[in-house]
Each structure stands twice: as C-alpha cells, then as structure tokens.
Chains A and B, each alone.
Chain A
Amino acid sequence: MQDFGAAFGQAFALIAGFDPALMEIISLSMRVTFSAVLIACLIGLPLGAVLAVGRFPGRGALVVLVSALMGLPPVVVGLAVYLMLSAAGPLGVLQLLYTPTAMIIAQAILVTPIIASLTRQVVEDMHGEYDELLRSMGTSRVSTVATLLWDARYSLLTAALAGLGRALAEVGAVMIVGGNINHVTRVMTTAIALETSKGALALALGLGIILVGLSILVNAGLMGLRKSAERLAYA
C-alpha cells in the first residue's frame, strides 16, 4: 500500500506549503460546521432538556423519535433540504441553494437530534439528583431547565463535540445542497470525494489525514478548555 506513504507526503506538503486552496477549504469547513453545531445547540439543548424534565402526552414517542433521528442518513436530509431550497421548492425565493447557508441548514438538521438526544440523557441524570431540591424551592419549569443546562454545561460539551464530529465528517448532505462548487461550497469532505472520483487517491487520503488532524485539534482544544474551566467551577 504505497498510497499511505504518498498520502502522508501529500498531507504534509499541503500543510507545510500553506496551500491557499486548502486553507480556503478548511476555513469554509470550519465555518459551516461550527455554525451548524451552534444552531443545533441552540435548538437541541433546550429541546433535550425539556424532553428530560417535561411530563406531557407524547413525550415518550418524541424521545424515541429524536433518538431515531440521530441515525438520519445525510443523503436523505440533503435531498429534503434540496427540495425545500430548490428554485422550484417552497423556499426557492430565498435563493440559498448552492450556498454555505444551505450547507449549514442541512448539517444543523443532521446534528440537532444528536445534541437533543445526548442532552436529554445528561439532563435526565442530573434532574434525578436536583428534582426534589428545585421543586422544594418552587422553581419554575423554565428556570429548572436553565439551571440543569447550566450545571450540565461541561457534560453537554461532549454532546456538542459529538455533533461537531458528525458535521465535520458529513459529505452526503453538503454535496447535494452545496454542489461542491470550487471556491464557494467546497469543503474538506466534498473535496475528498472529488479527488477520490478523480482517482487521485493519495491526495484524497492526504486531505482525509488533515481532516482527522483538524478533528483531533478541535476536540483536544475543547476538552482542554473543559478541563480547566471545570476545575475552576466545581472540580
């Protein structure tokens, strides 16, 4: 497998040379992924917490649904978002198809169930501990949810990281709604897919190595942040 050696060589050459095309692709990948995860957090965290704390009819079904949606095939999400944003679709007037915004929307849809589901688990555990205290204090539902989310913030970082991992690695949805347009919507994963289909396997694998490296950097950074912040907050 001489390709592996060549792949590492390619990866190294691209990084060492600060290849401008690569930097552009990386920065777009990061922007799309972080934006999508941020939006998914804004929806998924409260949703997960409400599912953990709330007692309302249909809650059980909703919990199952959200869990099941964690396994949404990206291609299906991509297709659905394409049909919505297509000029012939209901949201066509927004002219968002083949833009980074479309990619952010698709990835946010993919990531939200993951964050909501993991949040539900984390918050449910903590709620078991806090429930009597908060109720005895006469805490309102809204402020119960806020208290639980805030106190679980370091555990919830793991949920966000899981979402980040999925978004960063995802190719099927962004390929369809982004179109893999050079300089506009080409991100790491679609670039890898393109190089693979060109048969430039070493280059594709090299990009893959860089993607893994980026993923490690992001995770290590956030975990390190969590560790030190956690020590300060409650150890």
Chain B
Amino acid sequence: MPETITRNSHLSVIESGIAPPAITLQDVVFERQGKALVDGLNLTLTANGTTVLMGPNGAGKSLTLRLMAGLIAPGQGKIRWNGVETVPSQRVALVFQKPVLLRRSVRANLTHALKTYGVPRSAQPQRLEELLKMGNLTELADRPARVLSGGEQQRVAMVRALAARPKLLLLDEPTASLDPQATAAIESLIRTAAAGGAKVLLVTHDPGQGQRLADEIVFLNHGRVTEVTGASQFFDAPRSREARTYLSGHLLF
C-alpha cells in the first residue's frame, strides 16, 4: 500500500494572499494489478466554487478523489495542493458514500475531529455547538452515532468534515443511498461549505444534483478527463460524445 505521501498543514501560499489553484493533477497515472485505472489525468481546480465530477462506473472518479485526499499516491505524474506536493490533510476533508462514524456519540465524533484537526481546546466547545447546529444535530448530540438513520449519519459525517474548515472538500457520492429529504439536507450543507469559501469537489451520478450544485462539470471516462464545462452548458449540450451518451442513459464502450 503506498504510504509515501507526507503531510503537514503548511498553508503559507494561501496565507500569503495569492490565490493559486486549489489542486492540480498533472499526467497522473494510478495502476492496480497492471491496469491503469487513472490513465494520464490532467485537471486543475480553481480555489472556489463547486465542481461536480461525473462519469460512468469504473471511470476512476473515486480513485481521483482518493488521490486528491492523499490516501493513495499516483504511480506517475504529480499532484499539487496549493502549489506544493504535500497534502495539507488537515485542510482537505473527505466524505464517503457510506459514512464511517466512530463507535461513540455524535458529540464525541465531532470532538474527536476537532481535536484531530488541531482546534485549540478552549475553542472546541463553541465550535462543537456550531457544528451541531449546522447539521441540525443538537438534539441527537448524545446519541450513539452508529444507531442514527442513514441521513442523520451522513449529516454527522458532513459536519465532521466541516470541522476541519477545509480548503478542499471531497465528496464521494454522499447522497447515493439517501432519500430526497435527507439528500436536500446534505445539499444544503454543501452549499454552506461552498459559501464559506471551501472548494467543493462532488462525485455524483444524479444529473439533477449536478444541475443544482455545480459551477462546473468535469466528465471522466476510462481514467481520463474528456471535458470540463460550465454546468449550464454541460447539461444542455455536452461537448464530448461520452458525456452525451452517459446523459442519455446509454452504455459507453
């Protein structure tokens, strides 16, 4: 398992006031068992707004997210976060389709995150209350996190990610197994995060969700970017044949 990526919370570039791209992927290749699942991917994300990553199953969307989170290292190519090659993992947060919550109360889950993200102890209680309120979780705060409903659990996972005050928020189909009401709650949290200045990268198969949230769409196929388009244009008239086929519900070959 690749573990070569070093981490720190070095954010001098951001703090200097220049706004470089949030993240840049350059000729990134990731292979598993000799098969290139991410195959020469080039992508630059601006520091603001919501980018939606779409594409058929197996296109490499989740792997791309994991590469961006620094969970896996590329076999070839370079990834730069704010211009540097070490992932500032305390400012990059990741939310999974299936929330992974600690076997603790909602409150303890969030406290654990605040502690891990290096929030000073004195600031923790206030931040905790903010997060609980943001996720509409105040009344559930002392319940064991893992007995909550799917939607409630995902809300915990979302506000836990926001505890980092992330510069880059990576969301891997966070609403794929939720009902419409729970989905709306998550989408509202995504909007809050984006409005707060986080760069959001969302993987989804739901074109409606893409239309509701995206500033731009990145379409991925066979481990490569086939197009990057503004959201309104993408859903009206995607440029690539693959995207057109995907949106029309046909299989890609």
The docked-state distance in angstroms from the alpha carbon of A139 to that of B94 is 13
**Given known contacts A55-B3, A136-B71, A151-B102, A234 and B147 CB-to-CB distance under 8 angstroms:** yes
Does B64 sit within 8 A of A, measured CB to CB? no
The minimal Cβ–Cβ distance linking B135 to chain A, given in whole angstroms, is 17
**Given known contacts A137-B89, A138-B116, A147 and B96 CB-to-CB distance under 8 angstroms:** no
| B71 pairs with A151, CB closer than 8 A | no
| B146 pairs with A234, CB closer than 8 A | yes
The minimal Cβ–Cβ distance linking A126 to chain B, given in whole angstroms, is 8
| B100 pairs with A130, CB closer than 8 A | yes
The minimal Cβ–Cβ distance linking A189 to chain B, given in whole angstroms, is 37
The docked-state distance in angstroms from the alpha carbon of A227 to that of B14 is 49
- Sorting the interface of chain A by its residue count into under 10, 10 to 19, 20 to 34 or 35 or more gives 10 to 19
Does A132 sit within 8 A of B, measured CB to CB? yes
- What B residues does A147 contact at CB under 8 A? 102, 112
- Sorting the interface of chain B by its residue count into under 10, 10 to 19, 20 to 34 or 35 or more gives 20 to 34
Does A143 sit within 8 A of B, measured CB to CB? yes
CB contact list, A117-150 vs B, under 8 A: 129-130, 132-133, 135-139, 143, 147
**Given known contacts A151-B102, A234-B104, A135 and B146 CB-to-CB distance under 8 angstroms:** no
| B100 pairs with A129, CB closer than 8 A | yes
Instruction: Tell me which of A133, A139, A234 contacts B103 (CB under 8 A).
Output: A234
Does A235 sit within 8 A of B, measured CB to CB? yes
- What A residues does B100 contact at CB under 8 A? 129-130, 132-133
Instruction: Tell me which of A55, A138, A234 contacts B145 (CB under 8 A).
Output: A234
The docked-state distance in angstroms from the alpha carbon of A233 to that of B107 is 11
The minimal Cβ–Cβ distance linking B174 to chain A, given in whole angstroms, is 14
The minimal Cβ–Cβ distance linking A131 to chain B, given in whole angstroms, is 9
Does B1 sit within 8 A of A, measured CB to CB? yes
| B144 pairs with A138, CB closer than 8 A | no
The docked-state distance in angstroms from the alpha carbon of A152 to that of B93 is 24
Interface string of B44-73 (1 = CB under 8 A from A): 000000000000000000000010011100
| B7 pairs with A233, CB closer than 8 A | no
CB contact list, B67-98 vs A, under 8 A: 69-71, 89-90, 92-94, 96
Does B117 sit within 8 A of A, measured CB to CB? yes
- What A residues does B92 contact at CB under 8 A? 136
Does B28 sit within 8 A of A, measured CB to CB? no
| A235 pairs with B147, CB closer than 8 A | yes
The minimal Cβ–Cβ distance linking B211 to chain A, given in whole angstroms, is 28
| A136 pairs with B69, CB closer than 8 A | yes
Instruction: Tell me which of B9, B71, B104 contacts A135 (CB under 8 A).
Output: B71
- What A residues does B164 contact at CB under 8 A? 137
The docked-state distance in angstroms from the alpha carbon of A133 to that of B102 is 10
Closest to B99 in A: A133
| A233 pairs with B96, CB closer than 8 A | no
Closest to A233 in B: B144
A-B contact pairs, 6 of them (CB 8 A): A136-B70, A136-B93, A138-B9, A151-B104, A233-B105, A235-B146
Closest 7 CB pairs of A and B: A138-B89, A234-B144, A136-B94, A234-B103, A151-B103, A133-B100, A138-B90
Q: A147-B102, A233-B103, A234-B144 are in contact. List 4 more A-B contacts (CB 8 A).
A: A132-B96, A136-B93, A136-B94, A138-B117
